[in-house]
Structure 1
Amino acid sequence: MRAISWNCRGIGNPRSARALYDMVRRWKPKIVFLMETKSKVKRMDKIKNRIGFANGLIVPSRGHSGGVALLWTREVNLDINSYSGSHIDAIFKESEGNFQWRITGFYGHSETHRRYESWRLLAFLHSQFQLPWLCLGDFNEILLVNEKVGGITRPQQQMESFRNVVNFCSFLDLGYVGTDFTWCNMQEGENRIQFRIDRALANTEWIGNFEGARVYHLVDSTSDHCALFFTNSPPQHVSNAKRFHFEALWSKNEECRNIIESSWGMGVDLSTPEGFMVNLKRCASELSNWSSSVYGHIPKKIQSKRNALSALT
């Protein structure tokens, strides 16, 4: 089973929609949970169709904020239990045997004084079913002090409230592969703040049935949040990836500079070789996507012109 959870910070932006399409194409998830879509049902239906998903439950945004959506492919057998502007809870029925388990996409309140409402909701969801349970999303809170860098120290009471509901639900953190933090305020130097607020939690019954489950932090420049990619099998990469080439034509377009500036250094430690390579790959991906939408496939156009000239001569 493969799933993606992402606080996309507005999927109406063409770059965000393209980033989601690229994620789905590369990692081939069966389920996608999106938060802060800032979109209505009609727009989300278009997104669902573009990424090739047959089914979905969409909770529209309120004005220009909020909005969650759970999308799944045709072969997934999934029943919705409940939903709100902060969660979507469903039961997943495996195709083989009668095994059922629960998946919940969760979005914690961004306002600190309302965070208790999120924990009360999570406790209520726990009381409804006794099934193997996976819960993933943006909880807007950390469990430990070392899950935050920069800014003022997180009050112990805030973290304690989150830890209490995690323990009440008998959840264990599934850990992660990749960068240590999932959110960045996009500032530099002493003003930079980073959190690990996006995560996947599961109870022991679920973990016992999905040995080898992994959560990957996928950095994307179109949101200040990493996406979570969950899999219990080796990730499938696109095998026909082409080598990146910077085109001189791009440097004459002011938007090229904006693409590089917006995608460089987000949530990654530039002082390490690994972080530097992540930035290079992200910039290359963003520039390639931008070039395709603005200029089309340049090599194909060049070849077409050559063919036309050859025909004339």
Structure 2
Amino acid sequence: MRMLARKLKFANCVSNEQEGGKIWIFWREEFVVDWVGASNQAIHGIFSKGSSTVIISFVYAKCSALERRLLWQELESIMVSNLPRIVAGNFNIIRNDSERKGGRPRPMVAMDDFNYCIDRCGLIELNAEERKFTWCNGQDGATRSWARLDRTFTNSMAASLFPNMGLRLLAKETSDHCPLLIHFKQPRVSYGPSPFRFQRMWCEHETFMSCLKEAWVDCNQDVALGGLQKLAGKLKRTKLALKVWNKKVFGRVDHIILELQERVEILEESLQEGFSYDVEQDFLVTNIELAEWQKREEIRLSQVAKKRWLREGDNNTKFFHAVIAQHRKNRRLDQMMLENRTQLSSPQQIHMEAVRYFRNFLTEEHVGAVPNLSSLIDDTLTDEEGQYLCAMPIENEVKEAVFVIPMDSSPGPDGFGSSFLSNAGILSKRKWSKLHRISLEEESLIGFTHPLILSSFRRWRNRMVEQGVFVAGRNIVENIILTQELV
């Protein structure tokens, strides 16, 4: 459990395994926790952060009604009237018969015991709007059943202290229960337009290639251009076409997944009313389509997270979300202190200050002598090697240089990375012969010339063993550190 906590970046963990339970709890170091009780069905602790304190009970109830009575007594014994309280988990019982569909009826005595415990503890249920049921037995056809076994309760103090607190029932994936997500709504802060990034998941769509060919082949307005200028025009027009196609045809992946999940819920409700062969087939087809879109979402997240060591096909969506959230957290700039002690506290202020600084930096005349370092540079290359380096790369060299770049690597300023060339298939065998003849003297598309330059470097890198940059297994940072030490 502690090994898992370290992998999930949690500082602390606790469980009720010694009491015969199956509850694992992880929390971060910013919380101060005082555990007040534990049994084989629940763990209770007081969580504190700053001036806020709340007592939380994590519940995993037994299936037996007699054993659950011990849990109800335990919850009633931990009644703290002066603290906000949250009770959440799997209670393995419903409150009334309308909270199930299919299966055997629950004993009325067991439901009464549960409701009596809720009243005695003064708890208010936190309802979720997404789904009515939180558990499904996973059977097929008429034997499938649903029930509301997982829920969250708060007392009146917690409801007053956290007025924006809500409950979301997430989609079932690896478990037959819906995960419970208790959220506290906070306003999202975003600033500026989002940059264009080619998404590998687009290649999985059936209409992607037709959209790409239409934008790529239509080059009548670029007949006067040549070389990299023509290629830059094609990429610019393709970017605009993909933006429109993504908005009108492909759509937001997260929205489509939510729509498919809602459709699955509607079909489940229809099956709960009565079994139908047509509804059952539609239910299975919708689940298959949902799995396809979830795979596309995983491809998108893996591209953003840039974790190349993870194998595709694994259920790593949660991990990708954690990596992306950490990246965004590290890049986020909430405030800035200038040299004159001026405090910038909003994205707009930081933006305007950055524009002002670089405008002055790029327009001011810098006074100072440029040192002559030619005496420190050895003539490593001979004339013959220089000519060999300046020669045009052959077709196979360019192709090898392009495909050696990882598909999840960061793209250039235009938003097109190596995954565009590798997955989109725009460079056929005939196109490669044209690409390798593009002049390297053009500077209109610097971001795209790096495969061509790389193909030239790869020719003679074995001759440059004296240069530490081109030694296999050596990092260029080592040379930088060594230079700093020498200086």
TM-score normalized with structure 2 length: 0.44
Q: Corresponding residue for 1:271? A: 267
Pick closer, same or farther for the CA change 1:245–1:222 going to 2, 3 Å.
farther
Give the drift of 1:266.
Answer: 12
Q: Is the 8 A contact 2:42 2:71 kept in 1?
A: no
How many matched pairs?
A: 247
| Higher percent of residues as helix | 2
Q: Corresponding residue for 1:122? A: 75
Q: Corresponding residue for 2:156? A: 204
SS in structure 1 of the partner of residue 5 of structure 2: helix
Q: Corresponding residue for 1:183? A: 135
Pick closer, same or farther for the CA change 1:138–1:303 going to 2, 3 Å.
same
Q: Corresponding residue for 2:88? A: 136
**Distance in 2 of aligned mates of 1:212 and 1:230:** 10
| Aligned equivalent of 1:284, options 287, 290, 293 | 293
Give the drift of 1:183.
Answer: 0.8
- The code of the aligned residue for 1:46 comes to M
SS in structure 1 of the partner of residue 77 of structure 2: helix
Pick closer, same or farther for the CA change 1:280–1:81 going to 2, 3 Å.
farther
Q: Is the 8 A contact 1:182 1:267 kept in 2?
A: no
Choose 189-198 or 108-117, whichever is displaced more. Answer: 108-117
**Distance in 1 of aligned mates of 2:137 and 2:203:** 29
For residues 212-291 of structure 1, the aligned pairs below 5 Å read: 212-234=164-186, 244=201, 268-269=264-265, 271=267, 280-281=289-290, 283-285=292-294
Pick closer, same or farther for the CA change 1:79–1:125 going to 2, 3 Å.
same
Pick closer, same or farther for the CA change 1:170–1:280 going to 2, 3 Å.
farther
TM-score normalized with structure 1 length: 0.65
Q: Corresponding residue for 1:56? A: 13
| Aligned equivalent of 2:311, options 291, 294, 298 | 294
Pick closer, same or farther for the CA change 1:233–1:114 going to 2, 3 Å.
same
For residues 23-42 of structure 1, the aligned pairs below 5 Å read: none
| Aligned equivalent of 2:97, options 127, 140, 145 | 145
Pick closer, same or farther for the CA change 1:210–1:230 going to 2, 3 Å.
same
Q: Is the 8 A contact 1:133 1:206 kept in 2?
A: yes
Percentage of pairs with the same residue: 25
**Distance in 1 of aligned mates of 2:149 and 2:188:** 26
Give the drift of 1:174.
Answer: 0.7
Per-residue CA deviation, residues 197-252 of structure 1 (Å, 9 max, x unaligned), is 11100111111111021100011310011100001224979x9996745769xxxx
| Higher percent of residues as strand | 1
**Distance in 2 of aligned mates of 1:172 and 1:228:** 16
Give the drift of 1:75.
Answer: 1.5
**Distance in 1 of aligned mates of 2:164 and 2:41:** 29
**Distance in 2 of aligned mates of 1:111 and 1:220:** 24
Pick closer, same or farther for the CA change 1:186–1:45 going to 2, 3 Å.
same
Q: Corresponding residue for 1:34? A: none
SS in structure 1 of the partner of residue 56 of structure 2: strand
**Distance in 2 of aligned mates of 1:116 and 1:286:** 43
Q: Corresponding residue for 2:62? A: 109
Q: State yes or no: 1:90 paired with 2:86.
A: no
SS in structure 2 of the partner of residue 119 of structure 1: helix
Give the drift of 1:110.
Answer: 2.1
Pick closer, same or farther for the CA change 1:50–1:287 going to 2, 3 Å.
farther
SS in structure 2 of the partner of residue 300 of structure 1: coil
SS in structure 1 of the partner of residue 76 of structure 2: helix
Pick closer, same or farther for the CA change 1:244–1:176 going to 2, 3 Å.
farther
Q: Corresponding residue for 2:433? A: none
- The code of the aligned residue for 2:7 comes to R
**Distance in 1 of aligned mates of 2:161 and 2:174:** 34
